[in-house]
């Protein structure tokens, strides 16, 4: 028997459990059936009485052009209320993956020949187009009586008009944005507690993408070490370490204490001026901003295409928990100061720990009225501002 792969949640899983499924003759006993294999013309009435003791049903797809298995899955979920694992078994193609999930399948089971024609990335991409807007396409037994297909499509059209990337996962957003703004897009990173997520994603899509870090000369040495570790670990080949103009630093902050006497002037010298010249040269910028972070971001689109510079926010719909999960899933190293209670990390003189329950940004410029570094977007460009507007990356 050729070896098989189970594709579940867009990922390849071990399929050993499904190599020797039972056939319909197993229904004759009263034992629990671990995996039952059925043909796509099976009369479901003949197994309805035993569904409560069947853990998994594999439905045969002899060819991807034969869609009878989809109907069986729908009936099992809707008419019979089957709540075990349902697996489409056969040479399906990635384009059918989302539809299979909507019909009630939990996963697909494909052989090596099929996997050679379409890689795991093809299956993932199909799921990515689908994940945030996923709804069951069948009415569950105790749920609403009608299908959600039509209402979902209408709502989706409206949301796509407002945000062309609506519904895309972070990875798909990055892939599409990098393609759309080819050679004219930059990722600005603070090397803070969330930064590894986007850097890791970018490294898997295009490690030659320009990545900009603003090295103010005042960072924690842990941040600089983290920067070096991530850049090397992810193989980022166009990493740009931006520093203030040293002659200006010598003239305006000769003893390095400007942050104490005039923090706005210090940010202007060490952040705004060095960054403006670099970031504004790109047509699009990738940010790590998230909707949950501030009221101004509550309705933020994934792609903000208006203005002189487009903003791409792949993590717009992410929560802090999503970040943690992604970091764990990909075994990404945390910022070394996170464990010491620093939840938002900027320059060392202007950053303190926060206590449990405090707003993560309470540790920035703690003993001052200042809440932002003064870097803001106006008409799509980075500019200095006296107002306390949206914090961006630094
Ligand atoms: S955050 Fe503090 S040290 Fe860093 S540039 Fe601004 S004022 Fe200066």
Per-residue H/E/C for 363-374 = HECCCCCCCCCC
Q: Which atom of ligand 1 is nearest to the CA of 364?
A: 1
Judged against a pLDDT cut of 80, whether residue 373 lies above it is answered with no
Judged against a pLDDT cut of 90, whether residue 130 lies above it is answered with no
Question: How far away, in angstroms, is 353 Cα from ligand 1 center?
Answer: 16
Q: Which atom of ligand 1 is nearest to the CA of 218?
A: 3
Residue nearest to atom 1 of ligand 1 (CA): 347
pLDDT score recorded for residue 383: 47
Judged against a pLDDT cut of 50, whether residue 132 lies above it is answered with no
Judged against a pLDDT cut of 60, whether residue 385 lies above it is answered with no
- Residue ranges per structural domain of the chain: 4-133, 170-384
Q: Is 217 left (phi over 0), alpha (psi -120 to 50) or beta?
A: left
Whole-number Å distance between alpha carbons of 276 and 302: 23
- Write the DSSP assignment of 289-318 as a string of letters: --TTT-GGGTT--SEE--SSSEEE-TTTT-
Residue nearest to atom 4 of ligand 1 (CA): 347
For ligand 1, say whether the CB of 347 is within 6 Å of any of its atoms: yes
Read off φ and ψ for residue 321, nearest 5 degrees.
-70, -35
Task: Give the range among 74-78, 219-223, 349-353, 390-394 with minimum mean pLDDT.
Answer: 390-394
Could you tell me which residue, 26 or 375, shows the higher pLDDT? 26
pLDDT score recorded for residue 25: 93
Superfamily of segment(s) 170-384: HUPs (3.40.50.620)
pLDDT score recorded for residue 14: 87
pLDDT score recorded for residue 220: 96
* Same topology between domain 4-133 and domain 170-384: yes
Residue pLDDT, tens place only, 287-335: 999 988 877 888 899 999 988 899 999 999 998 889 999 999 899 999 9
Q: Quickly state the pLDDT bin for 102 (edges 50, 70, 90).
A: confident
Distance of CA 71 to the CA centre of its chain: 32
Distance of CA 275 to the CA centre of its chain: 27
Could you tell me which residue, 60 or 298, shows the higher pLDDT? 60
Could you tell me which residue, 28 or 394, shows the higher pLDDT? 28
Closest of 359, 250, 355, 251 to residue 295, by C-alpha? 359
Task: Give the range among 67-71, 102-106, 134-138, 263-267 with minimum mean pLDDT.
Answer: 134-138
CATH of 4-133, one of 3.10.350, 3.30.160, 3.40.50, 3.30.390: 3.40.50
Contact 258, 252 (CB under 8 A): yes
């Amino acid at each position: 028997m050729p070896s098989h792969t189970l594709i579940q949640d867009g990922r390849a899983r071990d399929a050993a459990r499904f190599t020797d499924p039972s056939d319909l003759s197993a229904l004759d006993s009263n034992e629990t059936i671990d995996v039952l294999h059925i043909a796509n013309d099976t009369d479901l009435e003949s197994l309805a009485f035993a569904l409560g003791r069947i853990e998994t049903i594999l439905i045969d797809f002899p060819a991807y052009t034969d869609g009878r298995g989809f109907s069986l899955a729908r009936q099992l979920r809707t008419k019979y209320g089957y709540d075990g694992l349902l697996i489409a078994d056969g040479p399906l193609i990635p384009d059918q993956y989302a539809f299979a999930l909507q019909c009630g399948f939990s996963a697909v089971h494909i052989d090596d020949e099929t996997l050679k024609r379409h890689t795991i990335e093809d299956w993932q991409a199909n799921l990515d187009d689908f994940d945030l807007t996923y709804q069951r396409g069948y009415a569950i037994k105790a749920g609403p009586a009608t299908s959600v297909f039509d209402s979902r499509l209408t709502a989706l059209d409206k949301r796509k008009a407002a945000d062309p990337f609506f519904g895309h996962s972070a990875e798909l957003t990055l892939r599409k944005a990098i393609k759309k703004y080819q050679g004219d897009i930059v990722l600005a990173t603070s090397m803070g507690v969330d930064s590894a997520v986007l850097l890791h994603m970018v490294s898997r899509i295009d490690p030659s993408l320009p990545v900009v870090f603003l090295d103010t000369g005042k960072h924690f040495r842990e941040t600089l070490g983290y920067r070096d570790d991530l850049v090397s670990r992810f193989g980022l080949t166009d990493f740009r370490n931006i520093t203030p103009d040293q002659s200006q630093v010598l003239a305006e902050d000769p003893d390095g204490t400007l942050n104490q006497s005039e923090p706005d002037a210090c940010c202007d010298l060490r952040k705004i001026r060095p960054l403006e010249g670099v970031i504004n040269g790109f047509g699009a910028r990738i940010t790590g901003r998230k909707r949950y972070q501030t009221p101004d971001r509550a309705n933020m689109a994934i792609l903000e295409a208006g203005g002189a510079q487009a903003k791409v926010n792949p993590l717009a719909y992410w929560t802090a928990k999503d970040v943690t999960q992604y970091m764990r899933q990909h075994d990404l190293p945390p910022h070394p100061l996170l464990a010491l209670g620093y939840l938002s990390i900027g320059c060392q003189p202007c950053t303190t720990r926060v206590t449990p329950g405090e707003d993560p940004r309470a540790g920035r410029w703690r003993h001052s009225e200042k809440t932002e570094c003064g870097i803001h977007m106006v008409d799509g460009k980075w500019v200095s501002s006296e107002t306390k507007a949206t914090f961006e990356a630094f």
